[in-house]
Amino acid sequence: MAEFTMELNDEQKEVRDWLHGFAADVIRPAAAEWDEREETPWPVIQEAAKVGIYSLDFYAQQYFDQTGLGIPMAMEELFWGDAGIALSIVGTGLAAVGVLANGTEEQIGTWVPQMYGDANDVKLAAFCSSEPDAGSDVASMRTRAVYDEAKDEWVINGTKTWATNGGIANVHVVVAVVDAELGSKGHASFIIPPNTPGLAQGQKFKKHGIRASHTAEVILDNVRVPGSCLLGGKQKLDERLARARERAKAGGERVKNAAMATFEASRPAVGAMAVGTARAAYEVALDYAMTREQFGRPIIDNQGVAFQLAEMATQIDAARLLVWRASWMAVNGKPFTAAEGSMSKLFASETAKKVTAQAIQILGGNGYTREYPVERMHRDSAIYTIFEGTSEIQRLVIARTLSGMPIR
């Protein structure tokens, strides 16, 4: 087990600087264009694949970094560049985490490489959990997976929504109900291979922020997948469902479902994304305050501005500390006994919203225009308090964990 540290080693610093350079030289110059176009920035993704950022090898190196700092450091730098483009680059990672969290070694080795492809043939993946009537309330999920024993196939029907890369991905990971009586405990995750009949893209959403990231509905109409596409395998699922039924009869402890296992693993990473956006807005505001003059002096000479910047910097550092602690705990098998993963996402996402709003205020009228990036950063920041568990859900998780009470 690696000791917790806030000091990056030489190799991590080298990677950080490399990512920062890519974010500054490739992502930022393209950010405004792809935000306006509201399309997947394929040229930027392909460039990221060419240099090795969009690749299974790079993701695996950061994911298995025993200090826990690889993923949050990478996320912060990329999202410092631009949240919409960065999400297009890292969106496949959520589906990969879904397989890593729930799949067998064979499934991981088979499907995760297919989610990325290579520099000459870039692929995408999508994780599909939310539904029109089941976002935070995962127990209301309606997508059903029924096992056809004669053919050793699963038949999946339903509609997913808010899926990053949904419909345009080569590989989809879909969470579905296999035992409705068990509520959220009766869920399982499935791989939908490329070109599987019955899977189609539904509505593509026009969004307030992260507009360079493709978000859409995914329609599943009698989608048939081999039994081998059930993550974890049939035996493991049957054993888990049997335990859940026994616990339900006895009124015992809760069992985590497949979607929640994925979200728990990824929440600190979302916190790191928020830190990157917040840091970017802060740096723009600081530079502006140092150079913008009013009444014959830089506006940072005014305490009203200087104190705001001091608070912004403090909140960003605090958010990073929480994210790095949770990331280290997750990698080293430390249980989130105080909901540290949810704490990191909650604080970092709320910080991003507040800091980007303060940045607009410091820039004044300029901050409200698209001539300066803080307007876009503020729009982008709103998503962090919504996706992969709203701020309200994070508070609920934290309160339940701390109290042991079934708070509603």
Under a CB-based contact definition with an 8 Å cutoff, are residues 95 and 173 in contact? yes
**238: Cα within 13 Å, side-chain hemisphere:** 4
Q: Report the C-alpha gap between 31 and 20 in whole angstroms.
A: 15
Return the ∠ at Cα 319 (arms to 16 and 379), rounded to 5°: 85
Burial class for 149, CB neighbours closer than 10 Å (0-12, 13-18, 19+): exposed
- Of the candidates 217, 350, 375, 388, the residue annotated as catalytic is 388
Q: Report the SS3 class of residue 158.
A: strand
Residues 362/300, Cβ–Cβ less than 8 Å: no
Planar angle of CA 69, 58, 15, nearest 5 degrees: 55
Element (DSSP H or E) covering residue 145: strand 144-148
Radius of gyration of the chain (CA): 22
Active-site residue flag, 388: yes
Strands 171-177 and 187-192: antiparallel
Contact 119, 49 (CB under 8 A): yes
96 burial type by CB count under 10 A (0-12 exposed, 13-18 middle, 19+ buried): buried
Contact 319, 244 (CB under 8 A): no
Other C-beta atoms closer than 10 Å to the C-beta of 332 total 14
User: Among 336, 316, 324, which Cα is nearest to 269's?
Assistant: 324
- What are the C-alpha distances in Å from 60 to residues 13, 54, 63, 99? 17, 11, 5, 13
Q: Which helix (H) or strand (E) holds 324?
A: helix 303-331
Task: Please check whether residue 270 is in contact with residue 387, taking contact to mean a CB–CB distance below 8 angstroms.
Answer: yes
DSSP 24: I
Q: Bin 364: left if φ > 0, else alpha if -120 < ψ < 50, else beta.
A: left
The catalytic residues are 388
